């Protein structure tokens, strides 16, 4: 006995996205990208702070090496320039090596300020970045003597 099996064909289903679905997906992607770009401004500010703190540490290390060779830190009038050019004013270093070809600037392209003695540790110099606003003495200043 032969059994005849009949195959039923399914109605063809259209596959793909409608225009409305594509517009919704593109809108969601645009919203996510807009949020990410908006938030990245905060990360850029934080990145500049980290970069500046790294430069503060490099300068601080160079000042410690200067003290090791010279027997003292540069005076307030000699400043950070003593790391680039040999000081001719007193106190003159016993031995001197150039630490930098040019003085580094902070991430906002401002020159660092030098204080000796420092505000928090009078036995060590303080290097200060003026921060984002470029004004000394405001809340966004970064100092080599800030607690880490």
**Structural domains of the chain, with CATH:** 34-143 (3.30.700.10)
First to last CA, the chain: 91
Taking the model in full, what pTM does it have? 0.69
Side-chain-facing half-sphere of 33: CA atoms under 13 Å: 6
Tens digits of residue pLDDT in 30-56 = 888 877 766 665 555 678 888 999 999
Query: Percent of the chain beyond pLDDT 70?
Result: 83
Give the integer Cα–Cα distance in Å for 93 and 67.
Answer: 9
What confidence tier does 127 reach under pLDDT thresholds 50, 70, 90?
Answer: very high
| Three-state secondary structure call for residue 41 | helix
Q: Which tokens sit at 24?
A: 């919704």
Q: Which tokens sit at 92?
A: 């003159």
CA separation, residue 125 to residues 38, 50, 58, 60, 64 (Å): 38, 20, 13, 8, 9
- Highest-confidence range of 12-21, 32-41, 85-94, by mean pLDDT? 85-94
Tens digits of residue pLDDT in 90-106 = 999 999 999 999 999 99
Give the integer Cα–Cα distance in Å for 131 and 100.
Answer: 22
């Amino acid at each position: 006995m032969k059994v005849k099996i009949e195959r039923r064909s399914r109605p063809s289903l259209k596959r793909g996205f409608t225009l409305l679905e594509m517009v919704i997906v593109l809108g969601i992607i645009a919203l996510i990208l807009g949020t990410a770009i908006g938030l990245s401004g905060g990360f850029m500010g934080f990145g500049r702070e980290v970069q500046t703190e790294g430069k503060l540490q490099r300068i601080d290390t160079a000042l410690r090496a200067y003290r090791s060779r010279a027997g003292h830190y540069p005076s307030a009038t000699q400043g950070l320039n003593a790391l680039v050019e040999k000081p001719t004013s007193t106190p003159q270093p016993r031995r001197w090596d150039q630490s930098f070809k040019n003085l580094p600037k902070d991430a906002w392209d401002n020159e660092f300020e030098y204080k000796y003695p420092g505000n928090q540790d009078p036995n060590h110099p303080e290097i200060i970045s003026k921060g984002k606003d470029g004004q000394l003495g405001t809340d966004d200043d970064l100092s080599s003597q800030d607690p880490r």
